[in-house]
Amino acid sequence: QLQLVESGGGLVQPGGSLRLSCAASGFTLDYYAIGWFRQAPGKEREGVSCISSSGGNTNFADSVKGRFTTSRDSAKNTVYLQVNSLKPEDTAIYFCAAAATLHSSTCPSFYATWDYWGQGTQVTVSS
Note the pLDDT tens digit of each residue in 44-99.
Answer: 999 999 999 999 999 999 999 999 999 999 999 999 999 999 999 999 999 999 99
Cα–Cα distance for residue pair 111/66, rounded to 1 Å: 22
Is it the case that residue 2 has pLDDT exceeding 90? no
CA distance to 86, 98, 107, per residue, from 82 (Å): 10, 18, 18
Q: What is the pLDDT of residues 88-126, one digit of tens each?
A: 999 999 999 999 998 999 999 999 999 999 999 999 999
Environment class of 49 (CB within 10 Å of its CB; exposed 0-12, middle 13-18, buried 19+): buried
**DSSP character string of 57-120:** -EEE-TTTTTTEEEEEEGGGTEEEEEE-S--GGG-EEEEEEEEE-SSTT----TTSPPSEE---
